[in-house]
Amino acid sequence: MARATVTIYTDDLTGKTGDNISAHSFSVDGVSYDIDLAPESYQRLLDTLAPFVQAARRQGAPKGRRTPQRGDTSKAARIREWARKQGIEVNTRGLVRQDIVERYEAEAATADR
């Protein structure tokens, strides 16, 4: 007898299911939380936390994760939004590729003139 196991990924915030849902961790007051989110919900979380992250003092990166090397979360979100509008494929989380950052900054510098 054959068996198949089906895994259904569910966004904990919206209840929607999909293959693009991934786990994310955060902590508040020493309590760590894990949440499964679709890219849109994760971006919403990042955008909501951005002003607090910018004002906070960093305590170090979680174990097993790379420390971001450039920019803050809100800048990365702006670059991702710009890239999507330009038709450039960009990851939904993590570091933005350097060539995309350079194109964004070059266009921003041109717009400031």
Domain holding 100: CATH number? 4.10.320
Candidates 70, 80, 84, 25; CA nearest to 47 is: 80
The whole domain housing 106 covers 69-113
The 10s digit of each residue's pLDDT in 51-106 is 998 898 888 665 555 544 444 457 888 899 999 999 998 888 777 888 888 889 88
Structure confidence at residue 71 (pLDDT): 47
For residue 15, what are its two tokens?
Answer: 């209840």
* Predicted structure pTM score: 0.50
Structure confidence at residue 1 (pLDDT): 84
Taking residue 104's Cβ as centre, other Cβ atoms within 10 Å add up to 20
Question: Would the CA dihedral through 55, 79, 15, 20 be positive or negative?
Answer: negative
Candidates 113, 104, 45; CA nearest to 78 is: 104
Q: Kindly state whether residue 10 falls inside one of the protein's structural domains.
A: no
- Do 34 and 23 touch, CB atoms closer than 8 A? yes
